[in-house]
Structure 1
Amino acid sequence: MATPKPGRKPVNPRFSSGPCAKRPGWSPGALAGALVGRSHRSAAGRERLARAIRLTRDVLRVPAGHRIAIVPASGTGAVEIALWSLLGPRGVDIAVWDSFSADWASDVVAQLRLADVRTLTAPYGQLPDLGQIDFARDLVFAWNGTTSGVRVPDATFIPDDREGLTICDATSAAFAQALDFAKLDVTTFSWQKVLGGEAAHGVLILSPRAAERLDSHVPAWPMPKIFRLTKNGRINEAIFTGETINTPSMLAVEDYLDALGWARALGGLGALQARCDASAGVVADWVARTPWIDHLARDPATRSNTSVCLVFSDESAARADAGRAALAARMVALIEAEGAGFDFGAYRTAPPGFRIWCGATVEAADVALLTEWLDWAYREATALA
């Protein structure tokens, strides 16, 4: 006998962790004023890009002394530019607890081939021992592990008197979590995440300490054009006023401006964080009353409020990893076939389960409806097993 289906579906069933759901009420009409067919180096183009930087500073509360640039290749490009431009003068510690921070460790070791690298690793669902970090060295870490659902609770583990630079991949934390820019020398993100902007571009934020490193350090390796932040041996200040390294999509820039305007109208950073917390709270309440599911991040203090990662509990019908993976795949397929939820399966290298995006553009009411469909899919899939 078929399991009765929930009576309602999410209004917006898009729960992908990137690209993420557009803001509520978005339509292509929001881009009607985009500067298409015009040069990004025209006065109007430069003004659009400079406005995006100003609004980023305003909404994220970035200190006046920090430089902000729009760079190529999404959050990945922003991280790579930082690694290739700044690393080398000191040893490097890399904190790894998800697939992307593992990628950065691989790049530093295998591509930049730095000799003095320590990798502090924790399995999915946990943080490494942050007390083992040596802040006389440079640090590379993700504030929020997008594929693990584990975040640092705050930046108190970073000392004010550090000697090395802190390079933070904040792509699934920016606009959702309280980034402490006094402790972050490099902050990178993509606006395709919490604000639901169109992908392709990244944002790079540099503290005065990071700018000093750019002025004093010449990398030992060749620097591709799209990585270069300096000109004639000095920081290229034009990049931080809206002169991008390569040609940006003015459609994507217009979409980012639209998202930033929406964020300001909501009430700014606090309102965005509250929306994320509300959706993540819906998932947490559901997990607390549902015996077959659990958070991948067992410590509530380290649980993401954006990329909420879930695994089957020990009480679930599937015991072995192969069985869990098959069960998760069946459930995702059942829900997608009903049009009740899309793209919420666990990341391919993460433990089998689900990853529900709870960024600011997602409505908590839609998350609540998705959990009802997950209950239905679990009953349906286990009955078929």
Structure 2
Amino acid sequence: MTGSIADPTAELRLDRPADKPARPYFSSGPCAKPPGWALERLPHGSLGRSHRSKLGKSRLQHAIDLTREVLQVPDTHRIGIVPASDTGAVEMAMWSMLGARPVTLLAWESFGEGWVTDAVKQLKLDPTVLKAPYGALPDLGAVDFSHDVIFTWNGTTSGVRVPDGDWIPADRDGLTFADATSAAFAMPLPFDKLDVTTFSFQKVLGGEAAHGVLILGPRAVERLESYTPAWPLPKIFRMTKGGKLIEGIFQGETINTPSMLVIEDYIFALEWAKEVGGLAGLVARSQANAAALDAVVADLAWLDHLVAEPATRSTTSVCLKFADHVVAGMDEAGRLALVKKLASVLEAEDVAYDIAGHRDAPAGLRIWCGATVDAEDVEKLGPWLDWAWHSIRN
């Protein structure tokens, strides 16, 4: 049964809002470019040059140095630019380091589920898996840190984040692997608690796709240099040679050929990040955007947060659902059709692009509130959401 929309208290029709968001880019990846971005503003001296040239290597190293500065990564940790976005960075770490001790994986959204599939079906590790439904976290107190532990810091497809790093002990025996792709640059990351951290350019800083960043703490390096996994490693996963870390990976000598245009774009974003106050400024912008969206949701009777607990609610990939009372009796297919129609109306008006929830998530909206979005655009989106809702329900 599809069901019908029931909202008898709402007005049948609203006036079409006058003001549109100046930048209607609310996609959760690739995300909005930094304010003021323009293709012609990117340096182009490295384009058409070898990434192995002195210039190419210097630009890659500059990107790494800026990453360390803006993200406040300690000198004890190595930073490398790797192939295949955040997925490549996570799988590179998993394939290279897992198997030395038991493994626990935490999954509360689709990417976390993907890492479970890797561990169970590909690496055949028989891990402990702690799961929670979309909108909730598993019991963090149940994690055994004698195991290697893999988790997403911020669930991009569920809008659920860990509140902090307090649940991770300093004296853990296993390694921690944090997929932080939609958290890095928007949420403080306690690198003393994270042995492996990954992210991609395309999220909080609005960079381009296909490249990932892998950050290794000293304990992860020790694992790489003291342990050889039982399975074969593809070339793009190999980080050691002769039992020693290949330091060049973390000094701008990428494993495969990078796009220097993407690197220049990332450098632009990092320099913009410094201009807005570095990490503190980026976190503040994301929090302001999320607060603006909270106010919008509070004002709309038909819309609600998927994540009920504010302390674990994402400030970047904010996931929303239809209020229970307005879709009572409607099945998931009906709700999904409603999402598609709502998103289509807003895109046609050039008000909001790509705000339908992830295909694996419960039917709803997902509105990116990362640092490259402007709070005033989130505020202007509110009346348009309500207008579109009333348009389609009529």
Please state which band the TM-score falls in when normalised by the shorter chain.
over 0.9
TM-score, normalised via structure 2 length: 0.95
Letter in 2 for 1:303: R
2:32 corresponds to 1:29: no
Q: Which residue does the alignment assign to 2:153?
A: 143
In structure 2, do the counterparts of structure 1 residues 108 and 135 end up closer, same or farther at CA, with 3 Å as the change threshold?
A: same
1:317: Cα distance to partner?
4.3
Q: Which residue does the alignment assign to 1:53?
A: 64
SS state at 1:315 partner = helix
1:58: Cα distance to partner?
0.4
Q: Distance in 1 between matches of 2:38 and 2:45?
A: 13
Q: Which of 368, 376, 390 is the aligned partner of 1:365?
A: 376
| 1:99-114 map, 5 Å | 99-114=110-125
1:289: Cα distance to partner?
2.2
Q: Which residue does the alignment assign to 2:303?
A: 293
2:113 corresponds to 1:98: no
Q: Which residue does the alignment assign to 2:142?
A: 132
**Structure 1: where are the runs of 5+ without partners?**
none
SS state at 1:309 partner = strand
Q: Which residue does the alignment assign to 1:274?
A: 284
SS state at 2:350 partner = coil
**Alpha carbons 2:30, 2:208 under 8 Å: kept:** yes
Q: Which residue does the alignment assign to 2:163?
A: 153
**Alpha carbons 2:13, 2:390 under 8 Å: kept:** no
| 1:160-239 map, 5 Å | 160-239=170-249
**Alpha carbons 2:66, 2:270 under 8 Å: kept:** yes
SS state at 1:376 partner = helix
Q: Distance in 1 between matches of 2:223 and 2:183?
A: 25
Q: Distance in 2 between matches of 1:69 and 1:26?
A: 25
Q: Which residue does the alignment assign to 1:332?
A: 343
Q: Which of 255, 267, 270 is the aligned partner of 1:257?
A: 267
Q: Distance in 2 between matches of 1:194 and 1:185?
A: 21
Q: Distance in 2 between matches of 1:80 and 1:236?
A: 18
2:129 corresponds to 1:119: yes
**Structure 2: where are the runs of 5+ without partners?**
1-11
Q: Distance in 2 between matches of 1:255 and 1:378?
A: 37
Q: Percent identity?
A: 59
1:3: Cα distance to partner?
4.1
| Count of residue pairs brought into register by the alignment | 382
1:8: Cα distance to partner?
1.4
1:166: Cα distance to partner?
0.1
1:33: Cα distance to partner?
2.7
**Alpha carbons 1:291, 1:315 under 8 Å: kept:** no
Q: Distance in 1 between matches of 2:15 and 2:383?
A: 11
Letter in 1 for 2:60: L
1:2: Cα distance to partner?
6.2
After TM superposition, the structure 1 stretch with the greater mean CA deviation from structure 2, 33-42 or 186-195, is: 33-42
1:293: Cα distance to partner?
0.9
SS state at 1:150 partner = coil
Q: Distance in 1 between matches of 2:68 and 2:317?
A: 24
1:206: Cα distance to partner?
0.4
1:172: Cα distance to partner?
0.1
Q: Distance in 2 between matches of 1:161 and 1:167?
A: 15
Q: Distance in 1 between matches of 2:294 and 2:165?
A: 24
In structure 2, do the counterparts of structure 1 residues 34 and 99 end up closer, same or farther at CA, with 3 Å as the change threshold?
A: farther
SS state at 1:151 partner = coil
4+ residue runs over 3 A deviation: none
Q: Which residue does the alignment assign to 2:97?
A: 86
Q: Distance in 1 between matches of 2:233 and 2:360?
A: 31
Letter in 1 for 2:251: T
Q: Which of 333, 344, 347 is the aligned partner of 1:322?
A: 333
1:64: Cα distance to partner?
0.6
Letter in 2 for 1:369: K
Q: Distance in 2 between matches of 1:70 and 1:329?
A: 36
TM-score, normalised via structure 1 length: 0.97
Letter in 2 for 1:380: S
Q: Which of 305, 311, 315 is the aligned partner of 2:315?
A: 305
Q: Distance in 2 between matches of 1:142 and 1:112?
A: 19
How large is the RMSD of aligned CA atoms in angstroms?
A: 1.1
Q: Distance in 1 between matches of 2:145 and 2:327?
A: 45
1:318: Cα distance to partner?
5.2
**Alpha carbons 1:97, 1:122 under 8 Å: kept:** yes
**Alpha carbons 1:318, 1:327 under 8 Å: kept:** no
Q: Which residue does the alignment assign to 1:70?
A: 81
Q: Distance in 2 between matches of 1:370 and 1:34?
A: 39
